[in-house]
């Protein structure tokens, strides 16, 4: 049970809103040291066990480094934004009188989940889709419905847009049989002597994805109502209320 201390550290770090990267790193090192203690390693050798854990991190990173397509897209996105991509996207959605932030994000959630389920995870994402297109369109939809919006409402729209992308990707990609998470689950179960079929694992991800879509879809509809209430309350529009 001592090796579970890493999980406690991660949970405590997230609860305290600490930086996730050092929190996970500390939790992993603590798990390595706890495993060494459980195996009977002398206390004097614990610093070496911690260094060995860090060395394994470095080795894994060096062996599995890949050049992600995102780094190729970033310069292109920067040029498009400089040329007015965000303004064009906002103007386009403003012309649609029926569009609201919630409806727009609900449509994006469906597309994001559907494409991720087919393995097309790079079609969306924060740098190439959320920042330059979806977030400005959601802001434009809010302005078309409610008029000028304050900064606090604008930031809420941006954060909800990013969350929608995360949820669509996270719960959609597990349906694709060749995604890394499915391979990891199958490999881990095989090491434990339990044979599972990758197809069955991906099929069992479908009910979870459906529930995630329904729950977050309801949140998006409630988000529209919250924005309307904020627009009708002058104090909250100016951000003077807590």
Give the integer Cα–Cα distance in Å for 215 and 212: 5
CB-based burial label for 114 (10 Å; 0-12, 13-18, 19+) = middle
For residues 238 and 240, give the distance between their C-alpha atoms in angstroms, rounded to a whole number: 6
Question: What is the residue extent of each domain of the chain?
Answer: 2-63, 70-237
Q: So what's the pLDDT on residue 74?
A: 62
Give the model's pLDDT for residue 70. Answer: 53
Q: How far is CA 227 from CA 29, 118, 163, in A?
A: 44, 33, 17
In the block, tokens 């939809």 appear at 141
pLDDT single digits (tens) 113-153: 999 999 888 888 888 888 888 988 898 888 888 888 888 88
pLDDT at 242: 37
Q: In order along the chain (242 residues), what is the average pLDDT of each group of 10 residues?
A: 82 87 84 77 72 74 54 64 69 73 93 92 84 87 85 91 94 86 81 84 91 95 88 56 38
Residues 6+ apart with CB under 8 A from 47: none
Helix (H) or strand (E) holding 32: helix 20-38
pLDDT (0 to 100) of residue 67: 47
Q: What is the pLDDT of residue 30?
A: 84
CA–chain centroid gap for 21, Å, is 15
What are residue 197's phi and psi, to 5 degrees? Answer: -90, 130
Residues 6 or more apart from 70 whose CB is under 8 A from it? Answer: 122, 125, 127, 128
Report the pLDDT value the prediction gives residue 31, as an integer from 0 to 100: 83
Distances (CA, A) of 19 to 15, 54, 55, 61, 235: 11, 18, 22, 20, 33
pLDDT on residue 148: 85
Q: What is the pTM of this model?
A: 0.65
> Are the CB atoms for 138 and 164 separated by under 8 Å?
no
Tokens of 82: 């400089």
Q: What are phi and psi of 182, to 5 degrees?
A: -65, -45
């Amino acid at each position: 049970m001592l090796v579970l201390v890493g999980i406690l550290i991660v949970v405590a770090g997230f609860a305290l809103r600490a930086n996730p990267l050092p929190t996970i790193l500390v939790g992993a090192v603590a798990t390595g040291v706890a495993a060494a203690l459980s195996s009977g390693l002398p206390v004097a050798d614990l610093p070496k066990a911690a260094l060995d854990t860090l060395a394994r991190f470095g080795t894994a990173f060096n062996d599995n480094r890949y050049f992600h397509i995102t780094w190729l897209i970033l310069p292109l996105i920067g040029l498009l934004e400089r040329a007015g991509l965000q303004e064009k996207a906002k103007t386009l959605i403003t012309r649609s009188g029926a569009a609201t932030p919630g409806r727009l994000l609900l449509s994006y959630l469906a597309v994001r989940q559907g494409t991720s389920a087919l393995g097309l995870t790079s079609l969306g994402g924060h740098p190439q889709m959320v920042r330059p297109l979806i977030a400005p369109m959601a802001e434009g939809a809010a302005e078309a419905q409610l008029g000028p919006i304050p900064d606090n409402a604008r930031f809420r729209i941006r954060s909800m847009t990013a969350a929608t992308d995360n949820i669509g990707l996270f719960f959609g990609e597990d349906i694709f049989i060749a995604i890394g998470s499915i391979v990891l689950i199958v490999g881990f179960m095989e090491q434990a002597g339990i044979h599972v079929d990758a197809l069955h694992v991906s099929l069992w991800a479908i009910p979870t994805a459906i529930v995630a879509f329904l729950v977050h879809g309801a949140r998006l509809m409630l988000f529209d109502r919250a924005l309307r209430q904020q627009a009708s309350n002058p104090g909250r529009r100016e951000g003077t209320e807590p």
